[in-house]
Amino acid sequence: MAKKILISAVNSVLRPLGAEIVRAGSTAPVQPPVVRRHDPSTCFMQTEGMKEMLVQELVQVAQNFFAQRVADVAPKGFDFRGEVEKFLSIYCAREHQNNGGGSGFHNSFWIYLTVRALSPELIVESGVWKGHTTKLLQEACPNATIHGFDIDLSTLEYRDGRAKFHQQDWSTFDLGKIDPEKSLVFFDCHVNHARRLIESHARGFKHVLFDDDPPIHKLYSYGAPAFPTATMLRNGIPAVLSEVKWIWHGKEMNCKIDRAEVDKATKLMAQHETFPDVAGPTRFGANQYSFLSYVRVNR
């Protein structure tokens, strides 16, 4: 009886966390632990002065990055404060809160601001997953033509008829005439960034966003990397390397290096900038930081 009472007491603490102790011989199902991350839809300050401090911090980070790293992206007089406040409102009220495996707060913040600053008429998204980012892109540019590409659309949760989804690779789809200044392509498909850069240049794009863009010595955090990444191209891949090996979750991984492709893609990069982390400092979407970068392609 004492053991039963003890287990009951412990479970009263564990159940809100999505876990439970089950006695030997019991047939009760064991629920998997729930991963809880800070999110502005469920975790936020109510006192106005404290909310203001967070907004100011985000505005300052955004202003500094755009002014110092990508000065030609945001137009003069761009309303950073207004855009940050609008983003927080949109992100908090999004219909599908769980976007595990897709863009979290960090990526969403920078994608939204970049798209608002560029105001493209054509947006291409390669790798749509659940459609969370597609919805965000549409909120940011309601008048833009948006094409979402994925080789598997079975996980898609968001469809409203305005964004056009295609179950195929983007490279063979006819997008029509491309205006480099009014077009943007976002790659979140874990496909070789060198290849994607070559494709972007060939199709007329100037503004490119890459997710999952780690440097070569941090590949150990990826099981299916887009190798080589844009960051690797920017930093330079040592000429002596013909392949890279690492261990991911106990499994040995390796990627071969196509030197000709690497050299060609590197020459097409006019600029490469990694967005600074905002998930960690704000604690929103903590542990969801990923290497998101902006690339300007030589035209």
Q: What is the pTM of this model?
A: 0.85
* Interval 128-137: pLDDT, tens: 988 889 999 9
- Range of lowest pLDDT (26-30, 33-37, 135-139, 156-160): 26-30
Q: Is residue 192's pLDDT more than 90?
A: yes
- Mean pLDDT, residues 223-233 taken together: 93
For the chain, what percent of residues have pLDDT higher than 70? 84
- Burial tier of 283 (Cβ tally within 10 Å: 0-12, 13-18, 19+): middle
Q: How far apart are CA 182 and CA 163, in angstroms?
A: 17
Q: What is the pLDDT of residue 131?
A: 87
Structural domains of the chain in order of their starting residue, each with its CATH number: 1-34 (no CATH), 46-297 (3.40.50.150)
Q: What is the pLDDT of residue 101?
A: 58
Q: Is residue 15's pLDDT more than 50?
A: no
Q: What is the pLDDT of residue 97?
A: 62
- Mean pLDDT, residues 100-107 taken together: 75
Q: Is residue 95's pLDDT more than 60?
A: yes
Q: Is residue 169's pLDDT more than 90?
A: yes
Q: How far apart are CA 211 and CA 295, in angstroms?
A: 11
Q: Which residues of 13-41 are buried (b: 16+ CB within 10 A; e: fewer)?
A: eeeeeeebeeeeeeeeeeeeeeeebbbbe
Task: Provide the mean pLDDT of the chain.
Answer: 87
Q: Which residue has the tokens 């020459």?
A: 267
Q: What is the pLDDT of residue 44?
A: 82
Displacement of CA 298 from its chain's centroid (Å) = 24
Q: Is residue 295's pLDDT more than 60?
A: yes
- In this prediction, residue 99 has a pLDDT band, given cuts at 50, 70 and 90, of low
Largest CA distance in the chain: 76
